[in-house]
């Protein structure tokens, strides 16, 4: 078992000293503390830990900052044979060293739902929902960082989200899996992967490398390892910091626009008469939020516009959505029709 350098008994004594020292050496820690400030440290919370450097550093930081009621959640996707088992063993070892509660599951196989990346993401969130139900909490900390933000932004933008805000990872978001609500908190979105590596090295934080991160069949890996370097070569300058600034502006502007959007997303049906009185930009946001709330998977700008086109129909009509779901108009209402 790989040794974790900072022991549970050391943390309480060293917290103030480590934070002061690290805040000077690693100024980004202050942004993480600010991101975590709204959340009570004594509340029970889940944290997703894969064994990779990102989640191991996040776990370390949360403990240093004072979050002491964490439940470490690890899903073995069972995609890499013995390596997946070693990841599980490694995370179990961390929990034993730090005396943390641990919840894990091992998948027999991924469902054939879209791409392997999509199927794995769906499986993870279903797993987190089961963990949340088991332990009676809705809070989940995730270790997405600035590089993830930039790569996801490009991925979603090319896929056709229709707006910058819809393309970004939110620092806090809410999702509902079945009947289970999850509040997703991502305090590392302004921290670069290299900064996490430097922090891990300084504190001798051990982690495991997932070799699928270099698998060229994965779209995100190609964006990270091929597309971004090629764009930087063409424009002859780094682009990630500029993209992150664009994302920050989009998020701020999106918050302003959202404040003007009627809270209709939880409705089972949408009133056509009410929607047509709204500006087009607000119509799009209402429909986007409505589809998202009702867990319509893999939809983008084209699907939102197709649903919005029903506002102009005078007759009974329907449009196709992913996975055999239909959006229909009848008697002046939009509603969703699910298979079966």
**pLDDT, greater one: 141 or 77:** 141
pLDDT digits (tens, 9 = 90+) for 269-310: 999 999 999 999 899 999 988 998 888 877 888 899 999 999
CA distance 303 to 96: 47
Q: Tokens at residue 305, please? A: 């516009």
Q: Give the pLDDT of residue 259.
A: 86
pLDDT digits (tens, 9 = 90+) for 195-241: 999 999 999 999 998 776 667 778 888 999 999 999 999 999 999 99
Q: Give the pLDDT of residue 20.
A: 54
**What DSSP string describes 270-319?**
EEHHHHHTS-HHHHHHHHHHHHHHTT-TT--HHHHHHHHHGGG-SS-EEE
pLDDT digits (tens, 9 = 90+) for 262-274: 989 889 999 999 9
Is the model's pLDDT at 113 over the cut of 70?
A: no
Nearest-Å Rg of the Cα atoms of the chain is 22
pLDDT digits (tens, 9 = 90+) for 126-185: 999 999 999 999 999 999 999 999 999 999 888 777 677 778 999 999 888 888 999 999
CA distance 32 to 187: 5
pLDDT digits (tens, 9 = 90+) for 17-56: 455 567 778 999 999 999 999 999 999 999 999 999 999 9
Coil, strand or helix at 268: coil
Q: Give the pLDDT of residue 205.
A: 93
Q: Average pLDDT of the chain?
A: 87
Give the start-to-end residue ranges of the domains of the chain: 8-220, 270-337
CA distance 281 to 283: 6
**What DSSP string describes 91-139?**
HHHHHHHHT-EEEEEE-S-----SSHHHHHHHHHHHHHHHHHHHHT--E
Q: Give the pLDDT of residue 301.
A: 86
Terminal-to-terminal C-alpha distance of the chain: 48
CB distance 206 to 97 below 8 Å = no
Domain 8-220 is found in CATH 3.40.50.1000: no
User: Which residues, 6 or more positions from 306, have their beta carbon under 8 angstroms from its beta carbon?
Assistant: 319, 320, 321, 327
Q: How many CB atoms lie within 10 A of CB 236?
A: 6
> Mean per-residue pLDDT for 74-85?
84
Q: Give the pLDDT of residue 2.
A: 33
pLDDT digits (tens, 9 = 90+) for 170-200: 999 988 888 899 999 999 999 999 999 999 9
Cα distances from 252 to residues 29, 165, 170, 249, 255, in angstroms, run 22, 9, 11, 5, 5
CATH placement of domain 270-337: 1.20.59.20
DSSP code of 115?
S
Q: Give the pLDDT of residue 15.
A: 52
CB distance 123 to 77 below 8 Å = yes
């Amino acid at each position: 078992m790989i040794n974790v350098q900072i022991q549970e008994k050391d943390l309480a004594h060293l917290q103030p000293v480590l934070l002061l020292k690290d805040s000077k050496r690693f100024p980004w820690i202050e942004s993480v503390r600010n991101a975590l400030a709204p959340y009570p440290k004594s509340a029970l919370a889940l944290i997703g830990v894969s064994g990779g450097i990102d989640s191991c550093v996040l776990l370390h930081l949360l403990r240093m900052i004072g979050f002491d009621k964490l439940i470490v959640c690890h899903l073995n996707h069972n995609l890499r044979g013995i390596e997946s088992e070693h990841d599980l063993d490694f995370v179990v070892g961390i929990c034993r060293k730090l005396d943390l509660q641990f919840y894990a599951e091992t998948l027999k196989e991924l469902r054939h739902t879209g791409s392997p990346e999509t199927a794995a993401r769906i499986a993870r969130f279903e797993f987190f929902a089961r963990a949340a139900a088991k332990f009676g909490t809705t809070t989940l900390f995730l270790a997405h960082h600035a590089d993830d933000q930039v790569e996801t932004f490009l991925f979603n933008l090319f896929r056709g989200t229709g707006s910058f805000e819809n393309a970004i990872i939110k620092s806090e978001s809410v999702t509902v899996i079945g009947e289970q609500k999850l509040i997703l908190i991502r305090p590392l979105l302004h921290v670069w992967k290299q900064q996490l590596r430097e922090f891990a090295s300084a504190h001798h934080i051990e982690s495991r490398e997932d070799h699928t991160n270099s698998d060229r069949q994965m779209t995100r890996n190609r964006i990270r390892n091929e597309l971004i370097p090629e764009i930087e070569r063409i424009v002859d300058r780094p682009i990630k910091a500029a993209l992150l600034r664009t994302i920050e502006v989009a998020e701020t502007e999106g918050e302003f626009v959202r404040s003007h959007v009627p809270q209709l997303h939880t409705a089972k049906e949408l009133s056509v008469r009410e929607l047509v009185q709204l500006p087009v930009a607000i119509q799009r946001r209402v429909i986007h939020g409505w589809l998202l709330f009702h867990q319509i998977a893999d939809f983008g700008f084209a699907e939102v516009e197709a649903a919005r086109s029903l506002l102009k129909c005078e007759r009974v009509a329907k449009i196709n959505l992913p996975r055999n779901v239909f959006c229909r108009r009848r008697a002046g209402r939009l509603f969703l029709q699910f298979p079966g």
